[in-house]
Homo-oligomer: A and B are copies of this chain.
Amino acid sequence: MKIAMLSTGEEVLHGDIVDTNAAWLSSYLYEHGFAMVKRATVGDQLSALTEELLMLSFNNDVVIVNGGLGPTTDDLSSAAAAQAADCKLVLFKEWLQRMEAMYSQRGSKMPESNLKQAMLPESAQIIDNPVGTACGFKMLINDAVFYFTPGVPKEFKVMVEQQILPDLQRDWPNNTAFQCSRLYTFGLSESAISDKLDSLKLPAGYELGYRSYLPFIEVKLFGPQDALEERVRVMQLIYKLLEANVVSVDEPMLEHLGHLLVEKGLTLATAEQCSFGYLTSWLQSDEQISRQSGHSWILSTRDSEAIDHSNPLAATFALAGATREKCATDIALVTGRMEENRFTIALSAHGGEWGMVLEFNRPYGRKEAVKIISAAAADLLRRYLERKPMFGDYFSLKKTKEMFLPSSVVK
């Protein structure tokens, strides 16, 4: 079974919009066992659209077309579909009534221009759009099944999830869907992960995938849907091999930290020097972490230059202790000052204070550096909450010093 996608529109073709619908659809279908064989993108010219629809109809069983269903004159997907299938555009009264109802619910009259959105190829079957005026539709062009979908990401996703995937699963019942399990790692390169997993013999029907969002790499295990026990067993093997750098399983690190904080009923304050507010903003983008947070502060670059930094780790420990005391939280997590390519991170909690001096192995831009520093700090928090060894080893970061001061010494 061959499935392809066509993205339409000048704004996608000319790079004004990154085609996230395409990446999302490919990934979503792949996880459900429908691996896409080709994607194409063309602009808004009727001839180019029609030509591409025909080409795709010859080489594929299913084609999903995205975009070009709006009310304006440059939305031409329906017209191209009619031309490619050699049929007429006709008024679909049921959709016209739906649009009129949507407008009257909002207390306004449907503009004339929306009429166009109810003009569909004669042979089309409507696919409902519960959240917008552009209905989708399904039709044959030559022997291929085409699904036409709106470009607005929210409308597109709802339509694929609620209608197109179930339709595909009905039409292709022998397609075996994968189930996907995930691990999130920090501090390994993709090639290091692949080397570590090299010894692993996956059972038949299993496959590994990687996706990197700096500074994390997600390891995905695809396996048959009905073999839960076996997948759990394989996941445990993978976990063992990567354990030193696994930050969470089946949920991103941030959610995992939020769950841990709530579960243990602990509160957190942060103070930042070399991460300029990114650590706090990133942590608090999780609502659970935000609710467990005390005051946090971002030190000014100028003030921190005045502090004596002859012993950067001591200064960062002092900052962590002071933050925890001032903010009256259970834990304080801080980033110290950047000196050349070296920075410090520290955590202060009931049992004592832990800190590290880390050094970048290669130059990073400010944006990337701040993300890596924040992830390293968050990893210190994770290790504390999980009662794991506190000092990790990270690819791309050289550890030049690590130190633990038990509470008895701190006092």
> Which A residues lie at the B interface, using CB under 8 A?
11, 13-20, 22-28, 30, 35-43, 48, 52, 55, 209-211, 269, 276-278, 280-285, 287, 290-291, 293-303, 327, 366-367, 370
Contact check, A22 vs B19: say whether CB atoms are below 8 A apart.
yes
Residues on B with C-beta less than 8 A from A295 are 297-300, 303
**Number of this chain's copies in the complex:** 2
- Partner of A43 from the list B13, B37, B52, B301 (CB cut-off 8 Å) is B37
Nearest chain B CB to A38 CB, angstrom units: 5
Most interface-central of A15, A17, A39 (chain B CB within 10 A): A15
Residues on B with C-beta less than 8 A from A210 are 11, 16
Q: How far is the CA of A357 from the CA of B55 in the complex (A)?
A: 55
> What are 8 A-B contacts with C-beta separation under 8 Å?
A13-B36, A13-B38, A14-B26, A16-B209, A18-B18, A38-B52, A40-B40, A277-B283
Nearest chain B CB to A25 CB, angstrom units: 7
Question: Are A15 and B30 also in contact (CB < 8 A) when A276-B284, A290-B276, A296-B298 are?
Answer: yes
Question: Are A15 and B19 also in contact (CB < 8 A) when A280-B277, A295-B299 are?
Answer: no
Considering the complex, give the chain B residue whose CB is closest to the CB of A329: B300
Contact check, A293 vs B285: say whether CB atoms are below 8 A apart.
no
Q: Which 10 A-B pairs have the closest CB atoms?
A: A15-B27, A15-B26, A277-B281, A281-B281, A277-B280, A276-B284, A39-B41, A15-B23, A297-B297, A296-B298
Nearest chain B CB to A176 CB, angstrom units: 16
Contact check, B40 vs A48: say whether CB atoms are below 8 A apart.
no
Residues on B with C-beta less than 8 A from A24 are 15
Nearest chain B CB to A257 CB, angstrom units: 15
